Structure 1
Amino acid sequence: MQLLAVPMASSGGGGITLLLPLILIVGMIWFMSRSQKKQRQRQAETVASLSPGTKVITTSGLVGIVEETDDDYVTLEISEGVLVQVVKAAVGRVIPEEDAAVDEAESVDEAATTDADEEAEKVDVPDAGKAGDKADGKVQDTPKLPPTHTEN
C-alpha cells in the first residue's frame, strides 16, 4: 500500500486571521489606559478643589472636614478638636454640601431618640446575683473554660 501526501487547502486569509487578535489586544489596552487616565484626572481635580470646610472621605474610609491644605498634605478634623494630617492623594472623594447637611440632621435626630430610649430603658431591677438565691450559695456568672490539655 502506498500513501500519498496531499497538500492541505489554504483558506487564503491567513494574514488577517493572525492580525485580528493582535488588533483586539491593542484596542483593549488602549481603552483601559484611557479610562485610567480619566480616573487620574478626576482625582487630580478633586484634590485641587479642596478648600477649608469641605467634607471629604479618604481612600481608607476616614471621614473629616478639611481644616487646611498644604502642597502635599491635607489637615482633616475627624472629630471635634481631633486633627489628622493625610497625604492629598489619600482623599478619595468630596461629600456634596446637601449630603453633609442631611447627615448632620440625621445625627441630631438619632442623638435625641437615643437619649429618650436610654431614659425609657432605665428600670430598677432587683439584684439578681445575691448569694442566697442559689442553693449552694455560689453565683456562676462566668462559664467554665474547656480543658487546655488532655491526659493520657
Structure 2
Amino acid sequence: MSFFISNAYAQSNPLEALGGGGGFLGQYGFLILMFVAMYFLMIRPQQKRAKEQKAMMEALTKGAEVVTAGGVLGKITKISDAYVTLEISSGAELVVQKNSITMVLPNGTLKSL
C-alpha cells in the first residue's frame, strides 16, 4: 500500500531551503526601511512646516496684513506674547490668538478688496 506514497518531512526554516538563513537584515530590513520612509515622508516635512510657522510668528509686526485660520483678513494694530489685535474694518478690532494667524499678506492687499 505505501508503494506510491512517499514520506513527508517537516521543513524547519523555509529560508534555509532557499539558500540562506536570512540574518539580521533579512529579518528586520523591512522594518528599518519603513521607518526611514516614514521619517522622510511624514516627520521631516512636518518639522519643516513647524519651523516656518514659528519664524512667521516671530516676524509679525504692527501694520502687517494677515489672514487667520478662520479666514478673517485684517491689519495688525497690537501684538502681545499670545494675542494679536486686528483691525478688520475701519475702527472695528478683533483680538485673536497669535498662533491662529496662518499667512502674512503683501502690504496693500486689503485696500484692493
Question: Where on the TM-score scale, by shorter chain, does this alignment land: which range?
Answer: 0.7 to 0.9
Q: Using CA pairs below 8 Å that are at least 6 residues apart, which structure has the higher relative contact order?
A: 2
Are residues 1:104 and 2:108 paired? no
- The equivalent position to 1:12 in structure 2, one of 20, 37, 47, is 20
Aligned residues: 103
Moved over 6 A (4+): none
Which TM-score applies when normalising by structure 2?
A: 0.78
| Partner Cα separation in structure 2 for residue 78 and residue 89 of structure 1 | 18
Three-state SS of the structure 1 residue aligned to 2:28 is helix
Deviations 1:51-98 (A, max 9, x none): 111000112211111111001100011111111111111010101226
- The equivalent position to 2:89 in structure 1, one of 76, 79, 93, is 79
In structure 1, runs of 5+ residues without a counterpart are 108-152
| C-alpha spacing 1:14/1:64, structure 2 compared with 1 (3 Å) | same
| Partner Cα separation in structure 2 for residue 69 and residue 10 of structure 1 | 68
Give the letter for the 2:35 counterpart: V
Quick check: which one's strand share is greater?
2
* Identity in percent: 32
Give the letter for the 2:76 counterpart: V
Give the letter for the 1:33 counterpart: I
- The equivalent position to 2:32 in structure 1, one of 9, 14, 23, is 23
Q: Which has the larger radius of gyration?
A: 1
